[in-house]
A = this chain, B = another copy of it.
Amino acid sequence: MYSPIQKYLDEVHAGLFRIHGGSTESPNRVLASKDPNLVGLALTTSDGFTYTVGDADERFSMQSISKVFSYAIALQDNGFTFMDSKIDVEPSGSSYNDLSSESGSGRPKNALINIGAIAATAHIIPDSGESVFDKILRVYSACAGRQLDVDEDVYASDSAGSAHNRALTWFLSSWGIIEGDPIPAHDDYTRQCAVSVSARDLSVMAATLANLGVNPQTGERVFETKIVQRVLSVMLTCGMYDDSGDWVSSVGMPAKSGVGGGIISVQPGQLGMASFSPPLDEHGSSVRGLAAHRWMSRDLELHFVRTSNAGRSTIRSRESIDRLPSSTRRPDVAEEVLAEYGHLAQVIEVMGDLRFSGVEVVSRAVSDLHEDTLCVVLDLTRADEVADVSVRALSRLAQTLGSHTALGLVDPEERMAELMVPVQMELAVFASRNEALVWAEDRILEVYGNEDCFPEDETEHAVLIERVDETFRDDIEQYLVAESYEAGETIRNIGDPFDGIRFITSGTVHTLSPAETGREVITILTAGMSFGELSLNDHFNQPFTVRAETDVEIRLLPRDAIDRLTENSPRVAAHLWRAIAVEGYARLGQTLRGHS
């Protein structure tokens, strides 16, 4: 089907042809040979999907867009302290080729004007066996996800016309910003400007920045997160030269233009966008490109003020476990204890991102709890993004709870696990809400219950049979057949025909959801409980897999015995079927309540 995003980009592309003005008489003489009506747009998401429209595969030179990536390399090679002593991070408020340096030190105002960019390139440290430019091209290629190369015609033309940049380079040398022979830095800078890319390539490079340093298509980490944070910040305030303030106010996205006709913009965390259209305005930015990025920011609401408004966290639900029981079946006495004290275990489900605001909302909810609260289960199943800050905050939360109140976490995707190691948190972490509920119920029963609340390891009793009037129990039990299963053995498979009802006399059994939905444990069954009744459906077959978790002893009431009872001892059968029906509807009611 036709994607609505594609449709939107097609509309933007078509709309750009209504915009005229600009010139191809740019400092980059090779641009003059380009058809001024070429227009290409590309958008790559932070999960690596690329949309393109128009001339998105047309090649052109990166020019000033290269400054962003070389600055990132220099920062990664030298660290912030060193690089900040060489290049400042302040907007210059002047044209891209101005001599905007600090009076006294000569430190360029920022790395996105020519003088700062030459200084940045001068500090790139090649790996052994490669030249500075080899490294530049290698890292650019890693950002683009393909091997890039230099347009030698552009390089020759730019190099011949680079008197101004040579002057800037010699100034940097005179101020000691570049030590030794400054000419290689000038040449590397001129060459990096001539790297040939398409709008498609640039959108992937921009998406690598959006993705905080990881190329979303290759998965390669090209830059550290803190480097990208710095680079995007400087792009936001200095990327659009003398119009930076207006750009921040009206577009609000880090961006960079080049006199090759390209522009990139970055929506952190979400997407990288790139445009190509040759006619340039008086600042050297593509006229149609500027319009495209402005439109997309407006229509897609990508301004930083709007987007950081996204992902507000909410507590989706907050329930005590007496209202939200686990699907583990418990002895009646345990159910009574849980009904009385279940309010002392609370389940809080978080929706949205688990960043500061998420943790703040959760903390507030937890702080409001009664001080007798025994445990708090935080269900992160529906939480979005889990940040480092959350782990620190949860660790602090666990501390403030004190020894009386335990904190449990439902984290099926194990997003917290990795992050927790460095802070050495001690937390109960569960793969499913049900397991956490079992844990919380167990804690309540340990404090307020007695030994009768816990399933016996072995029992001849069976809850289902105890629902039958005492008079009839022996008539049923005479039909029971003993069975044994080893730990890990599958007792019933999905689709198996109904062959009777099984009573557990020892061991633990799990009911599992179908493999394709992730093999969640639906029910945990222990001694005294029964299974097989779920096959009593329209098809009389097993809807879930049942697996022995430990060695298990079973007593089976076979299907033919039930049929014979129904035929020959209808009164016994009536009471048996009544018990089965009551058990079934009790569980249906519990399940509907738990999920509503």
Contact = CB atoms under 8 A, between A and B. Distances in A.
A582 B4 contact: no
A15 to B, nearest CB: 15
B363 A5 contact: yes
Given A310-B355, A399-B4, A233 B249 contact: yes
B302 A304 contact: no
A110 interface: yes
Nearest to A296: B356
Contact of A234 (B249, B351, B405): B249
B89 A270 contact: no
A275 interface: no
Contacts of A363: 3-5
Q: Which of A229, A361, A388 has the most CB of B within 10 A?
A: A229
A574 B566 contact: yes
Interface string A41-64: 000011101000000000000000
Query: Main SS of chain A's interface residues?
Result: helix
Given A584-B584, A586-B538, A45 B1 contact: no
Nearest to A580: B581
Contacts of A5: 359-360, 363-364, 393
Contacts of A2: 367, 400
A26 interface: no
Given A5-B363, A245-B237, A352-B384, A268 B304 contact: yes
Contacts of A536: 581-582, 584-586
A517 B323 CA distance: 10
Contacts of A596: 513-514, 517, 520, 522
A29 interface: no
Contact of A249 (B230, B245, B300, B364): B230
Interface in A398-422: 399-402, 405
Contacts of A242: 90
A53 to B, nearest CB: 15
Query: Interface residue tally of chain A, by bracket?
Result: 35 or more
A454 interface: no
A471 interface: no
A391 to B, nearest CB: 11
Q: Which of A363, A364, A585, A593 has the most CB of B within 10 A?
A: A585
A534 B589 contact: yes
Q: Which of A1, A212, A566, A593 has the most CB of B within 10 A?
A: A1
Nearest to A512: B596
A312 interface: yes
Contacts of A357: 45-46, 270-271
Contacts of A77: none
A353 B384 CA distance: 9
A208 to B, nearest CB: 14
A6 B268 CA distance: 30
A310 B385 contact: yes
A301 B252 contact: no
B237 A91 contact: yes
A311 to B, nearest CB: 2
B586 A585 contact: no
A332 interface: yes
Contacts of A237: 91, 236-237, 244-245, 248
Nearest to A309: B269
Contact of A311 (B300, B384, B392, B578): B384
Contacts of A270: 308-309, 312, 356-357
Interface string A360-385: 11011011110100000000001011
A573 B396 CA distance: 61
A1 B371 contact: yes
Contacts of A248: 89, 233-234, 236-237
Nearest to A246: B89
A570 interface: yes
Going nearest first, the 5 A-B pairs with the smallest beta carbon separation are A311-B311, A269-B309, A584-B584, A577-B577, A90-B245
15 contacts: A1-B405, A89-B249, A90-B242, A90-B244, A229-B249, A237-B244, A268-B304, A268-B309, A301-B387, A310-B387, A513-B596, A533-B585, A538-B586, A571-B574, A580-B585
